[in-house]
Amino acid sequence: MRKTGIKRLSKESFEQYGSYASILEPSGPAFGEEPVVFYRDMVQQSLGFATTASYSSCVVNQRPWVITNSEVHDYCHETILCLDGDYLMHVAPATFDKAIPADQIEVFLIPKGTLVNVKAGVWHQAGFPYNCERVHILCVLPERTYARDCYCFNLPKKDQIEVLPEFVD
C-alpha cells in the first residue's frame, strides 16, 4: 500500500484541480464597506449543460485515513464548503478513461470555511475529518448529478493509499 503525506492548500499546488477561497476570511475585489462588505466572484463553478444548481449536505465521520475509492464527473465542476471542521481531500488529474490514476493522487488540507471548486474530470471523493470527529460539507452540483454524471470506482487493495499525518511540500 502506498503512503502519502498531506499538502497545504496553495494556488500553485491546487490550480490543476480547481480553485478555492476562504469564505470566513475573504479577500479580493469587494463592494461596500463596514458593516457590510460583499466580496464578489470569489470562485466560479461550471454547471456543464445544467441550469439548476443543487445544494446537498455530506456528513463525514472519522474513519481510518485510507483512500479506497474515487469518483469523477465528466461535465460539471463540484463545489464543496467545509462548514465546521478542517478536512483532508484527495484529488488526482483528469484522465481520458475511467481509470483512477492512483499514483498521482494528492491529499490537501482544506481549512474550515474554505470553498473548493473541483474541475470536471478531476478525481475526488469524500475525505477525512482533520483534528475533529465529524465534518459537515455543503456540496454544490447540478441537479441530479449523482444519477447522470457521477462515476464511482473502488481502488484495488494494492493501489489503496494510506494518508500519513505529516505535511509534504
Residue type, 11: K
| Block residue for cell numbers 484522465 | 95
Asked if 146 and 45 count as a contact pair (C-beta separation under 8 A), the reply is: no
Binned average pLDDT, 10 residues per bin, the chain of 169 residues? 95 96 93 91 92 95 98 97 97 95 98 97 97 96 94 96 94
Can you give the pTM of this predicted structure?
Answer: 0.93
Q: Determine the pLDDT at residue 169.
A: 77
Range of the domain at 117: 2-167
Please state, in angstroms and rounded to a whole number, the distance separating the CA atoms of residues 31 and 111. 25
CB atoms within 10 A of CB 160: 15
Number of domains in the chain: 1
**CATH code of the domain in which 52 resides:** 2.60.120.480
